[in-house]
Chain A
């Protein structure tokens, strides 16, 4: 049954109307094809099409050839059991009769359909729900008449919809699929102008709501949470009313929601930035449309030595996001994805925010430069002046600190990819993501090595080449050591105990002594290969986030002792301030914990006394529970990190997707952090940019600390005086930090304060450089 009709039928009073609509559908021209198998569901009013439908002169429709065609079916219409969590969870997507099945082709083919002569519009749906295709990159072209459109899809659960116009004469209408790897199609609809309204409202709208949001029955369970309160709207000026929009400037660290309203002092802004060569500087401008706006474009002029092409303008996309990782049935609209755009349509009353990132060339001369941001649309134009001061500062990186991140490495899928185009996609994706990490200051990722437990002769079979390729890619991008390496402890446990230990060791049992011996043997085998190949140091990461119960702690002691018996350093994700973890203390070399806890003095004392390191995985600013603490992200990565005494930031995770990566409501858990364009190019989110701003804050502080030390050693009285003044200013900044274990929202600096404190540091750098004669 048509889902729209089905949902209406569930409501009283719609029975009569539904029957009437069914009659309309039944008499409509059957140019609606739902591709799949003989047994899969068919969207109401559609005609089933399978690989067996081969075109013939007397056929109404069919494939030009049956060669290379196969049908894929995977329906998700009910929760699925998650054995690791021990509970039923929402499926990765909720399929409908169109998306539950597809025809996949490996060679060029065309679907031919006979239609009366006339002008047609076509709607083509492409994708698959089949999880076995998770390492398949679909890359193909769809052609109708002379018009071609390229489709690129990474694996299952994502669907693309294409629209074409075609003129049909005496020949059948042909929809041609030309693969670079494989192609997939779920449905084709063709209609003439007379049917346009019925197709749009009766088919396309309900289909897209189901597919790109949720099916009606599920969607009815979700409740929208209110946006944060906003102040009154200032009265628009006559000029604003005439051009149909208001322009305002709000610091990029402060979120702008769809219905945030400008403050009086934010209207008609001038954007001001300062930055050093090689640095990325960020600003933002927001347009509040007073009427519906079409053709909205933003252009930024060159800013002195910064050419316009080095200035990246993105649209801040509002996403429906859950309030927490696995929370169901509550969502809110949040600013999140920073997407590229050519031009936009903006709705009256809903903010359009534009995120501007300026990359200052490495050789840019110091100076104060001016330029313009120009917003144009169907109703008017606005010019926003920009000032950029480029400072004569060469920012330095602290070699003692590590900025890392957890990572689902595309090379894992590359290894399983079925064709060269897919392999190349995953290779390209990984390469671009590594480059993106470096551009954001991140030069370290968590890796893992997989292996079966030892065979009867005690030998392990590792996929060394995959690990080598990942390390080589990191090396190419200048990544730093040590590398956190996940090892297959749970597989060895399963061999000896007969079952998995469960999420966070929730079902762990004491393993036999042979288990520990095999863990030691495994680590020794990895270490031997690491040394042989000259790889960087590995920190062994045997279990993620162990529980605090006695069985878990006892098991962890066993595992960590077994690892350390191989003469290596261990890495454990656990809160060192928890008493239950104290038995692990002698066996942990690197504590990795979510908050900056324990406090700085404890961290430094323990590090000095025992050589233990404290790393932080600040997931509270990564998006698993909230996409909006952008200022908290900057504080965590910059001044807060400086103040913490921790060595490393290594949040989880660069990209996390369940189901459709652009639908945060589907699947058991929310999608978060960076997204990808269809070709694998990274799409940042606002918090990722907050990381970079914090990373740069830290570089300013570190550069000043180094210069203070150099000035003190210089023997120049003026430099020593400057160092003294700089120390005092740096102490002021230090004292202004309101220390927290987790910087998120509360009690942070205002967005503007971040820039002023950075400037206070920069000013001292300039003073010392001057005193040193540089």
Chain B
């Protein structure tokens, strides 16, 4: 199933925890690059962090002249290392460079959870030259996010030409969560299924549900206004699987709709195609 990796901004109220709320560059450590706060280009608020990299294939660490310029923020011991009450890591990045375009992997994000050996790494392939790009990473994708000790950005100089200049403007680096239970996504685990399937697994993605609490979600399998299966689930935060059981009557092949809603909120839908079974 294809739940979106970067979720669209919803209308529901969000809560935010800035991760770097100082303007002192000393909160960052750098290698083969520089960082400074700047008002020159921002998306939210009045300051961004400008991470400036001049690619040098000859200098840097003696063993690896074509190296990994990087920018890191160490999170002090304490509650800010525990992200388990939050739902998304969020930031905006704008990239400026004299190059015509960015390479396929312009930069990477690394999170020490809790150390380098157990780091979460993600290439930031969505970055574009001259555009603000919003990253909203579900924390469900980040193992051990209850103990995050360092946030690091890096580039591989091997992805760039010697002498390239790349400026990354990093803005609004924060943790986010929905203030109230919100259904973010619904999808059939299989968008196409054999019509003789007796169970139809559905994936739900919920946010805004407090830890150890649940939201009641109603799911239906429908076609042309007729309901073929219905179930209610007490779903926790994150991804949750429920199974719709259409009963003993065979379903006709065709296009169906899966409808899910939290009580009082608008329903969201997904498509399901049932195909005549090879074993009918």
Q: Which residues of A contact B (CB under 8 A)?
A: 231, 263-265, 272, 274, 330, 368, 387, 389, 391, 547-550, 577-580, 597, 736, 738, 746-747, 749-750, 752-753, 756-757, 759-760, 762-763
CA distance A272 to B194 in the complex (A): 11
With contact pairs A272-B279, A752-B193, A756-B275 given, residues A264 and B104 touching in the complex (Cβ less than 8 Å): no
- Range, interface on chain B: 20 to 34
With contact pairs A548-B158, A579-B103 given, residues A756 and B193 touching in the complex (Cβ less than 8 Å): yes
* A549 CB contact (under 8 Å) in B57, B103, B194, B279: B57
Check: B223 CB closer than 8 A to any chain A CB. no
The SS class assigned to the A binding surface is mixed
Q: Which residues in A have their C-beta under 8 angstroms from that of B199?
A: 265
A759 touches B191 (CB 8 A): no
B279 touches A330 (CB 8 A): no
B275 touches A578 (CB 8 A): no
Task: Report B145 CB to chain A, min CB distance, Å.
Answer: 14
* B190 CB contact (under 8 Å) in A549, A577, A753: A753
CA distance A763 to B103 in the complex (A): 42
Q: Which residues in B have their C-beta under 8 angstroms from that of A231?
A: 241
Chain A residue with Cβ nearest B191: A753
Chain A residue with Cβ nearest B66: A549
B104 touches A597 (CB 8 A): yes
Task: Report B70 CB to chain A, min CB distance, Å.
Answer: 18
* A752 CB contact (under 8 Å) in B2, B160, B190, B276: B190
Q: Which residues in A have their C-beta under 8 angstroms from that of B201?
A: 263, 265
Q: Give 25 A-B contacts (CB < 8 Å), ordered by A residue.
A: A265-B201, A272-B279, A274-B279, A330-B117, A389-B278, A547-B66, A548-B66, A548-B158, A549-B66, A550-B162, A578-B103, A578-B158, A579-B161, A738-B2, A747-B5, A750-B1, A750-B189, A750-B190, A752-B190, A752-B194, A756-B190, A756-B194, A756-B275, A759-B278, A762-B278
Chain B residue with Cβ nearest A754: B190
Check: B254 CB closer than 8 A to any chain A CB. no
Check: B130 CB closer than 8 A to any chain A CB. no
Check: B210 CB closer than 8 A to any chain A CB. no
A753 touches B65 (CB 8 A): no
B192 touches A265 (CB 8 A): no
* Chain B 151-200 residues near chain A, CB threshold 8 A: 158-162, 189-194, 198-199
Q: Which residues in A have their C-beta under 8 angstroms from that of B104?
A: 577, 597
Chain A residue with Cβ nearest B197: A752
Interface string of B95-132 (1 = CB under 8 A from A): 00000000110000000000001000000000000000
Most buried by B among A578, A753, A756: A756
What 9 new A-B contacts, CB under 8 Å, besides A756-B194, A762-B278? A231-B241, A265-B199, A387-B279, A389-B278, A752-B189, A752-B193, A756-B275, A759-B275, A760-B192
Chain B residue with Cβ nearest A229: B143
CA distance A580 to B103 in the complex (A): 11
Task: Report A545 CB to chain B, min CB distance, Å.
Answer: 12
CA distance A763 to B280 in the complex (A): 13
Task: Report A457 CB to chain B, min CB distance, Å.
Answer: 41
Chain A residue with Cβ nearest B162: A550
* Chain B 42-69 residues near chain A, CB threshold 8 A: 57, 65-66
B278 touches A274 (CB 8 A): yes
Q: Which residues in B have their C-beta under 8 angstroms from that of A368?
A: 279
B190 touches A550 (CB 8 A): no
CA distance A271 to B166 in the complex (A): 55
Task: Report B169 CB to chain A, min CB distance, Å.
Answer: 23
Check: B243 CB closer than 8 A to any chain A CB. yes
- In order of increasing CB-CB distance, the 6 nearest A-B pairs are A265-B199, A750-B190, A756-B192, A274-B278, A548-B158, A752-B190
B191 touches A736 (CB 8 A): yes
CA distance A265 to B1 in the complex (A): 18
Q: Which residues in B have their C-beta under 8 angstroms from that of A759?
A: 194, 275, 278
Q: Which residues in B have their C-beta under 8 angstroms from that of A387?
A: 279
Q: Which residues in B have their C-beta under 8 angstroms from that of A756?
A: 190, 192-194, 275
Q: Which residues in B have their C-beta under 8 angstroms from that of A580?
A: 158, 161
Q: Which residues in A have their C-beta under 8 angstroms from that of B162?
A: 550
Most buried by B among A263, A330, A736, A752: A752
CA distance A746 to B5 in the complex (A): 10
Q: Which residues in B have their C-beta under 8 angstroms from that of A547?
A: 66, 158
* Chain B 234-280 residues near chain A, CB threshold 8 A: 241, 243, 275-276, 278-279
A747 touches B2 (CB 8 A): yes
Task: Report B11 CB to chain A, min CB distance, Å.
Answer: 26
B198 touches A265 (CB 8 A): yes
Q: Which residues in A have their C-beta under 8 angstroms from that of B192?
A: 736, 753, 756-757, 760
With contact pairs A756-B190, A756-B194, A757-B192 given, residues A265 and B158 touching in the complex (Cβ less than 8 Å): no
A578 touches B159 (CB 8 A): yes
CA distance A547 to B57 in the complex (A): 12
Task: Report A128 CB to chain B, min CB distance, Å.
Answer: 35
CA distance A597 to B104 in the complex (A): 10
Q: Which residues in B have their C-beta under 8 angstroms from that of A736?
A: 191-192
Task: Report A252 CB to chain B, min CB distance, Å.
Answer: 15
Task: Report A583 CB to chain B, min CB distance, Å.
Answer: 11
* B57 CB contact (under 8 Å) in A272, A550, A752, A762: A550
CA distance A495 to B279 in the complex (A): 66
Task: Report B246 CB to chain A, min CB distance, Å.
Answer: 12
Q: Which residues in A have their C-beta under 8 angstroms from that of B159?
A: 578
Most buried by B among A330, A579, A763: A579
Chain B residue with Cβ nearest A766: B278
CA distance A274 to B278 in the complex (A): 7
Task: Report A753 CB to chain B, min CB distance, Å.
Answer: 5
Task: Report B36 CB to chain A, min CB distance, Å.
Answer: 28
Task: Report B95 CB to chain A, min CB distance, Å.
Answer: 16
Most buried by A among B2, B103, B198, B278: B278
Q: Which residues in A have their C-beta under 8 angstroms from that of B57?
A: 549-550
Q: Which residues in A have their C-beta under 8 angstroms from that of B190?
A: 749-750, 752-753, 756
Task: Report B270 CB to chain A, min CB distance, Å.
Answer: 13
Task: Report A546 CB to chain B, min CB distance, Å.
Answer: 12
Task: Report B146 CB to chain A, min CB distance, Å.
Answer: 14
CA distance A757 to B199 in the complex (A): 19
CA distance A330 to B119 in the complex (A): 13
Task: Report B259 CB to chain A, min CB distance, Å.
Answer: 20
B275 touches A549 (CB 8 A): no
Q: Which residues in B have their C-beta under 8 angstroms from that of A579?
A: 103, 160-161
Task: Report B41 CB to chain A, min CB distance, Å.
Answer: 26
Chain B residue with Cβ nearest A391: B278
Q: Which residues in B have their C-beta under 8 angstroms from that of A263?
A: 201, 243
A389 touches B103 (CB 8 A): no
Chain A residue with Cβ nearest B158: A548
Task: Report A737 CB to chain B, min CB distance, Å.
Answer: 11
Q: Which residues in B have their C-beta under 8 angstroms from that of A549?
A: 57, 65-66, 158
Chain B residue with Cβ nearest A329: B117
Task: Report B88 CB to chain A, min CB distance, Å.
Answer: 17
Interface string of B183-227 (1 = CB under 8 A from A): 000000111111000110100000000000000000000000000
Task: Report A66 CB to chain B, min CB distance, Å.
Answer: 53
CA distance A746 to B138 in the complex (A): 14
Q: Which residues in B have their C-beta under 8 angstroms from that of A597?
A: 104
Most buried by B among A265, A547, A750: A750
Q: Which residues in A have their C-beta under 8 angstroms from that of B193?
A: 752, 756
Interface string of B1-26 (1 = CB under 8 A from A): 11001000000000000000000000
Chain A residue with Cβ nearest B65: A549
Task: Report B248 CB to chain A, min CB distance, Å.
Answer: 15
Chain B residue with Cβ nearest A389: B278
CA distance A328 to B67 in the complex (A): 23
* A389 CB contact (under 8 Å) in B189, B198, B279: B279
Task: Report B156 CB to chain A, min CB distance, Å.
Answer: 9
CA distance A762 to B104 in the complex (A): 37
CA distance A274 to B276 in the complex (A): 13
CA distance A264 to B201 in the complex (A): 11
CA distance A757 to B279 in the complex (A): 15
Q: Which residues in A have their C-beta under 8 angstroms from that of B191?
A: 736, 753
Chain A residue with Cβ nearest B243: A265
